[in-house]
């Protein structure tokens, strides 16, 4: 039962056995890199250690002895040897990296005798005694459980007594004095002398590192990251090299490419005459890696070559820890480097150009989610700031502005040239002008698919939703977070990508779409099967989506066009009309406005397909807020009871009450509106056809696809199809023009999916509205669920993901699958797409690819992500 493996052992294989670090050290050794020699005690030995009651079993001890002999022979040094002492590091190394969670001991092998030999051998007594005191401190802390504060206090006192300002000011004899004091502390604290036998030190250290697998923070970390407790950690014993043995030594950290821009140039820093901790501790300012070219040209050459070799071997940008000991380079650690989105794209593209990666591999290297960061203004992460409150990261991007609490205030201030952040309990379609005016939106209620979130994402504006830390006092125009109060027009900055809200103005960085970005996405377009469309309601949004690579519009929501402040009075007239003649009059006035909207969109989209969805929301959304109306009416009863205004208000209130519903999202909306008021859709269809004919007259091949929302029964679609066809054909007959159009349906209630075969007979296309389909399949209100219980469900793992963000493939996805299959069973060529928010989410896109949908449709700012995710699904 082999538990211990030398780094160059031929059967030293696999992360499961050796841990991440051990496997890495073995691999580096095998490819001939200058790695300090050593051995790894396997993760299995960790389990054996626990089974033996937290003791190293005898057979493991024996194998450690043998490995140590081999290490001594290879290095020509001996543990505890007075002539040529071997010093080692003892480090943890789990299968999954758990940075800083477990224990490490450095400089093991030092004692009262070897410190003398080290001083003599190196001619650097200061270094020798400094190393010894570091060892006593670390060993006592990690292995013997002595609080390291006790040692630090002694050092502080010594410094003050002798007027030293920093550790490097202390001489060998200062450290000698302190070492004596340290040893006294150990004796007092543990009841025995500091262990002088290096073999005993080693066994104790190994046991301590194994023991640290189960310390509190490691257990917490594992729980958080879902790492199973039975995996255990390996222990790596490695001969120490020293970067603090004079001016031909040093230590540093470098990336093989720039992790922030991706530029193919070594990036990093080092310190001459220093040990690892000194770089991290920030006592001395490190030098840029380029200067090594001048100070140690040979070492720099070797280092640059080693980096190239490492990159070619690991086929990725590397983050490398190195030490130079008396002019000789050692690589201590290498791993794939963390990088920004910008660097990620550039490195993937460059590595394909350099023939390190295939095109498919390069496509797989970039996380589609990261692309969003490139499309928005960003907070300069190098600046320092404090987070005041945190909500859901509803729409990425960063924005600074002055706080306002109403849409009207937002509009007024914007008109006066003041950038504002709209802070609301939640937003409704009534607030749309405020969202348009604001730089960003914060809501204290509502989830990732709340009105504010969807609208803001669609506009590419930053948004935080469900920011429940914030309590708003609308009456006094302030909000508070704990004891901090923020008032009207105070400046705040938000990061919609993280959901963080900060006080004041933060430094921003502009987005830049690089050449590499466009190149990578062009490769993605070649690779993907799914078409990529956009959810856009305005020519501006459509133009932005086109610039990001959209191939058509998959969802144009027409209700937003009704919200324009100029139109809302006419829309209200239409809703409140008592006779259908009155209603028609209002609709006649809306018609040319709608036609203008569509003309603008057709113009932008050229001959690309445009799916226009007819009116969907419940009508009361276009009316004033009931509570406010009640208040205003009550006020007028007192101040001006005989006024006409009161009469009008009362009538309005009666209508608002008449239209009020307990469950508006399950109420009179979607096609149900037009089943009762067919003239509304008739007007919209006429507007579409007029716009299309105008464009056709200009020679454009427009392709309107007219879409009916919220169909649940084929008879609804039958009636709607008849209505649309009559209205469209009437326009064609009147004008004598011809424009091809299609009529399709959203599939967004379970019944529609379950009866998709019947429905397909009446539909030219299906578009899965997975927002409503999720709402109706789970029976979760998309407006309330996230705030009330969904977050809890995700925290306690009742649900793995928020189903409004990540398509629930087992439930909602099953309905999509049934819908597609049944639809295609009737119409083989039935066009299918998805236009819920899921159309812009990576794993949901993979699901759509697997169902062989024709396209996905997402908000403009998600289009690049969708192109890449669709390509990855096809790889």
Would you list which residues are annotated within the binding site for substrate? 557, 613, 748, 769-772
Q: How far apart are CA 505 and CA 523, in angstroms?
A: 39
In the complex, the smallest distance separating the C-beta of residue 772 from ligand PEP, rounded to whole angstroms, is 3
Binding site partner of 89, from ligand PEP, Mg ion, none, Cβ cut-off 5-8 A by kind: none
Binding site partner of 296, from ligand PEP, Mg ion, none, Cβ cut-off 5-8 A by kind: none
398 forms beta bridges with: 495
Q: How far apart are CA 816 and CA 835, in angstroms?
A: 12
Coil vs helix vs strand at 390: strand
Q: Which of 860, 820, 866 is nearest to 530 (CA)?
A: 866
Binding site partner of 835, from Mg ion, ligand PEP, none, Cβ cut-off 5-8 A by kind: ligand PEP
Token pair, residue 600, equals 């603008």
Q: How far apart are CA 631 and CA 24, in angstroms?
A: 70
Q: How far apart are CA 779 and CA 773, in angstroms?
A: 9
Marked catalytic residue, from 835, 848, 849, 858? 835
Q: Which is nearer to ligand PEP, 130 or 616 (CB)?
A: 616
Q: Which is nearer to ligand PEP, 311 or 748 (CB)?
A: 748
Token pair, residue 727, equals 């209205």
- Phi, psi (5° rounding) for residue 607? -95, 10
In the complex, the smallest distance separating the C-beta of residue 562 from ligand PEP, rounded to whole angstroms, is 13
* 769 part of the interface to Mg ion, by CB under 5 A: yes
* 823 part of the interface to Mg ion, by CB under 5 A: no
**Could you give the dihedral angle defined by the CA atoms of residues 754, 709, 665 and 567, in that order, rounded to the nearest 10 degrees?**
180
599's CB contacts (< 8 A; 6+ apart) are 691, 694, 695
The span of 134-142, 379-387, 584-592, 741-749 binding Mg ion (CB under 5 A) equals 741-749
Q: How far apart are CA 388 and CA 469, in angstroms?
A: 9
Binding site partner of 836, from ligand PEP, Mg ion, none, Cβ cut-off 5-8 A by kind: ligand PEP
In the complex, the smallest distance separating the C-beta of residue 771 from ligand PEP, rounded to whole angstroms, is 3
Q: How far apart are CA 256 and CA 276, in angstroms?
A: 19
Q: Is 792 exposed, middle or buried (0-12, 13-18, 19+ CB in 10 A)?
A: exposed
> What does the DSSP 8-state code read for residue 78?
B
* 772 part of the interface to Mg ion, by CB under 5 A: yes
Q: Which is nearer to Mg ion, 378 or 620 (CB)?
A: 620
**Could you give the dihedral angle defined by the CA atoms of residues 332, 333, 338 and 339, in that order, rounded to the nearest 10 degrees?**
50
Q: How far apart are CA 350 and CA 362, in angstroms?
A: 9
* 458 part of the interface to Mg ion, by CB under 5 A: no
Binding site partner of 463, from Mg ion, ligand PEP, none, Cβ cut-off 5-8 A by kind: none
The span of 32-40, 202-210, 765-773, 842-850 binding Mg ion (CB under 5 A) equals 765-773
The span of 63-71, 189-197, 457-465, 764-772 binding Mg ion (CB under 5 A) equals 764-772
> What does the DSSP 8-state code read for residue 194?
P
Contact by Cβ (8 Å): 808, 489:
no
In the complex, the smallest distance separating the C-beta of residue 209 from ligand PEP, rounded to whole angstroms, is 52
# residues near Mg ion by CB under 5 A:
3
Q: How far apart are CA 580 and CA 578, in angstroms?
A: 7
Determine which helix (DSSP H) or strand (DSSP E) holds 581, and give its type and residue range.
Answer: helix 580-605
Q: Which is nearer to Mg ion, 398 or 834 (CB)?
A: 834
Q: Which is nearer to Mg ion, 352 or 838 (CB)?
A: 838
Binding site partner of 557, from Mg ion, ligand PEP, none, Cβ cut-off 5-8 A by kind: ligand PEP
Q: Which is nearer to ligand PEP, 307 or 763 (CB)?
A: 763
Coil vs helix vs strand at 308: helix
State the DSSP string of 47-72: HHHHHTTSS--HHHHHHHHHHHHHHH
In the complex, the smallest distance separating the C-beta of residue 716 from Mg ion, rounded to whole angstroms, is 15
Please report, for residues 152, 225, 508, 854, 868, the alpha-carbon distance to residue 370 in angstroms, rounded to integers and kept in the order given.
Answer: 43, 20, 18, 25, 11
Determine which helix (DSSP H) or strand (DSSP E) holds 465, and give its type and residue range.
Answer: strand 462-465
Q: Which is nearer to Mg ion, 131 or 859 (CB)?
A: 859
Binding site partner of 555, from Mg ion, ligand PEP, none, Cβ cut-off 5-8 A by kind: ligand PEP
In the complex, the smallest distance separating the C-beta of residue 616 from ligand PEP, rounded to whole angstroms, is 6
Please report, for residues 416, 436, 508, 807, 851, the alpha-carbon distance to residue 842 in angstroms, rounded to integers and kept in the order given.
Answer: 40, 28, 27, 10, 15
Binding site partner of 343, from Mg ion, ligand PEP, none, Cβ cut-off 5-8 A by kind: none
Q: Which is nearer to ligand PEP, 239 or 775 (CB)?
A: 775
In the complex, the smallest distance separating the C-beta of residue 835 from ligand PEP, rounded to whole angstroms, is 5
Q: Which is nearer to Mg ion, 143 or 720 (CB)?
A: 720
Q: Which is nearer to Mg ion, 24 or 427 (CB)?
A: 427
In the complex, the smallest distance separating the C-beta of residue 839 from Mg ion, rounded to whole angstroms, is 12
In the complex, the smallest distance separating the C-beta of residue 767 from Mg ion, rounded to whole angstroms, is 10
The span of 163-171, 314-322, 563-571, 740-748 binding Mg ion (CB under 5 A) equals 740-748
Q: How far apart are CA 158 and CA 837, in angstroms?
A: 63
Site string for Mg ion, 337-376 (x = CB under 5 A): ----------------------------------------
- Give catalytic status of residue 835 as yes or no: yes
Q: Which is nearer to Mg ion, 109 or 769 (CB)?
A: 769
The residue whose Cβ lies closest to Mg ion is 772
State the DSSP string of 706-751: EEE-S--SHHHHHHHHHHHHHHHHHHHHHHT-----EEEEEE-SHH
Binding site partner of 478, from ligand PEP, Mg ion, none, Cβ cut-off 5-8 A by kind: none
Residues flagged as binding site for Mg(2+): 748, 772
Neighbours of 269 (CB within 10 A): 16
Q: How far apart are CA 704 and CA 737, in angstroms?
A: 15
10's CB contacts (< 8 A; 6+ apart) are none
How do beta strands 233-239 and 38-41 pair?
Answer: antiparallel
Marked catalytic residue, from 451, 560, 690, 849? 451
Residues flagged as binding site: 557, 613, 748, 769-772
> What does the DSSP 8-state code read for residue 81?
-
Sites of contact with ligand PEP (CB under 6 A): 555, 557, 616, 748, 769-772, 835-836
Q: How far apart are CA 560 and CA 161, in angstroms?
A: 74
* Total residues found in the chain within this entry: 875
Binding site partner of 27, from Mg ion, ligand PEP, none, Cβ cut-off 5-8 A by kind: none
In the complex, the smallest distance separating the C-beta of residue 672 from Mg ion, rounded to whole angstroms, is 13
Binding site partner of 258, from Mg ion, ligand PEP, none, Cβ cut-off 5-8 A by kind: none
740's CB contacts (< 8 A; 6+ apart) are 703
Q: How far apart are CA 45 and CA 69, in angstroms?
A: 19
* 198 part of the interface to Mg ion, by CB under 5 A: no
In the complex, the smallest distance separating the C-beta of residue 147 from ligand PEP, rounded to whole angstroms, is 58
540's CB contacts (< 8 A; 6+ apart) are none
- Residues at the site binding Mg ion, with contacts judged by CB under 5 A: 748, 769, 772
- Among all residues, which ones are annotated catalytic? 451, 835
């Amino acid at each position: 039962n082999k538990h211990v493996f030398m780094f160059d052992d031929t059967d030293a294989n696999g992360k499961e056995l050796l841990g991440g670090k051990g496997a890495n050290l073995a691999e580096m050794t095998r490819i001939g890199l200058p790695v300090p020699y050593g051995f790894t005690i396997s993760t299995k030995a960790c389990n054996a250690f626990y089974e033996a009651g937290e003791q190293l079993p005898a057979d493991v001890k024996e194998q450690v002895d043998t490995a140590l002999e081999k290490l001594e022979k290879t290095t020509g040094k001996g543990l505890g040897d007075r002539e040529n002492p071997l010093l080692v590091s003892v480090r943890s190394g789990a299968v999954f990296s758990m940075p800083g969670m477990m224990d490490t001991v450095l400089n093991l092998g030092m004692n009262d005798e070897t410190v003398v030999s080290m001083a003599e051998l190196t001619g650097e007594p200061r270094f020798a005694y400094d190393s010894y005191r570091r060892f006593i401190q670390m060993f006592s802390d990690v292995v013997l459980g002595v609080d390291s504060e006790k040692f630090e206090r002694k050092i502080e006192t010594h410094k003050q007594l002798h007027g030293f300002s920093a550790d490097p000011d202390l001489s060998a004899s200062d450290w000698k004095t302190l070492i004596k004091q340290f040893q006294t502390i150990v004796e007092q604290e543990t009841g025995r002398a500091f262990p002088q036998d290096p073999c005993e030190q080693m066994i104790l250290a190994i046991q301590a590192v194994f023991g640290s697998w189960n310390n509190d923070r490691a257990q917490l970390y594992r729980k958080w990251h879902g790492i199973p407790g039975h995996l255990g950690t390996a222990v790596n014993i490695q001969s120490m090299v020293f970067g603090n043995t004079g001016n031909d030594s040093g230590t540093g950290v470098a990336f093989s490419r720039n992790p922030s821009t991706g530029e193919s140039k070594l990036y990093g820093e080092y310190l001459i005459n220093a040990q690892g901790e000194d770089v991290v501790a920030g006592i001395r300012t490190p030098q840029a890696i380029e200067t090594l070219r001048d100070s140690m040209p040979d070492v720099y050459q070797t280092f640059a070559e080693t980096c190239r070799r490492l990159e070619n071997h690991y086929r990725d940008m590397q983050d490398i820890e190195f030490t130079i000991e008396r002019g000789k380079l050692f690589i201590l650690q290498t791993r794939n480097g963390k990088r920004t989105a910008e660097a990620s794209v550039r490195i993937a593209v460059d590595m394909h150009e350099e023939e390190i990666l295939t095109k498919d591999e390069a496509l797989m290297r970039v996380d589609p989610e990261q692309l969003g960061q490139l499309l928005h203004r960003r907070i300069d992460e190098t600046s320092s700031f404090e987070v005041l409150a945190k909500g859901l990261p509803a729409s990425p991007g960063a924005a600074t502005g002055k706080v306002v609490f109403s849409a009207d205030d937002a509009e007024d201030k914007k008109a006066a040239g003041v950038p504002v952040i709209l802070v609301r309990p939640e937003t409704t379609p009534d607030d749309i002008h405020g969202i348009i005016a604001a730089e960003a939106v914060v809501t204290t209620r509502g989830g990732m698919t709340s009105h504010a979130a969807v609208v803001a994402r669609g506009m590419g504006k930053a948004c935080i939703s469900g920011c429940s830390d914030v309590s708003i006092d609308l009456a006094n125009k302030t909000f508070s977070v704990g004891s901090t109060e923020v008032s009207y027009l105070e400046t705040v900055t938000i990061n919609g990508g993280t959901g963080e809200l900060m006080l004041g103005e933060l430094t921003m960085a502009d987005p830049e779409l690089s050449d590499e970005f466009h190149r990578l996405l062009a490769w993605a377009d070649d690779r993907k099967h799914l078409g990529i469309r956009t959810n856009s309601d305005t020519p501006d949004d459509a133009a932005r989506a086109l610039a990001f690579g959209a191939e058509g519009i998959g969802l144009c929501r027409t209700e937003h066009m009704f919200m324009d402040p100029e139109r809302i009075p006419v829309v209200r007239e239409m809703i409140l009309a008592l006779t259908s003649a009155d209603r028609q009059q209002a609709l006649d006035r809306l018609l040319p406005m709608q036609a203008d909207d569509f003309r603008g969109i057709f113009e932008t989209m050229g001959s690309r397909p445009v799916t226009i969805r007819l009116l969907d929301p419940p009508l009361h959304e276009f009316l004033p807020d009931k509570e406010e109306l009640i208040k205003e009416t009550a006020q007028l009863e007192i101040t001006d009871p005989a006024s006409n205004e009161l009469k009008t208000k009362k009538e309005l209130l009666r209508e608002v009450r008449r239209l009020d519903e307990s469950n508006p999202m399950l109420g009179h909306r979607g096609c149900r509106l037009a089943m009762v008021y067919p003239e509304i859709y008739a007007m919209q269809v006429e507007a579409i056809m007029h716009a299309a004919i105008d464009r056709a007259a200009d020679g454009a091949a427009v392709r309107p696809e007219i879409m009916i929302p919220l169909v649940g029964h084929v008879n609804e679609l039958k009636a709607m199809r008849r209505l649309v066809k009559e209205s469209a054909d009437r326009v064609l007959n009147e004008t004598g023009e011809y424009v091809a159009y299609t009529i399709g349906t959203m599939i967004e209630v379970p019944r529609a999916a379950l009866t998709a075969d019947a429905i397909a007979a009446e539909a030219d296309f299906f578009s899965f509205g997975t927002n409503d389909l999720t709402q109706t399949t789970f029976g979760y209100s998309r407006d309330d669920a996230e705030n009330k219980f969904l977050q809890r469900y995700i925290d306690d793992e009742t649900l793995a993901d928020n189903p409004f963000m990540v398509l629930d493939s087992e439930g909602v996805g099953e309905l999509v699958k049934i819908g597609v299959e049944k639809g295609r069973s009737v119409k083989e060529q039935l066009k299918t797409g998805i236009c819920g928010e899921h159309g812009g989410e990576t794993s949901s896109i993979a699901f759509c690819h697997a169902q062989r949908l024709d396209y996905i449709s997402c908000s403009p700012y998600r289009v690049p992500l969708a192109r890449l995710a669709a390509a990855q699904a096809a790889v």
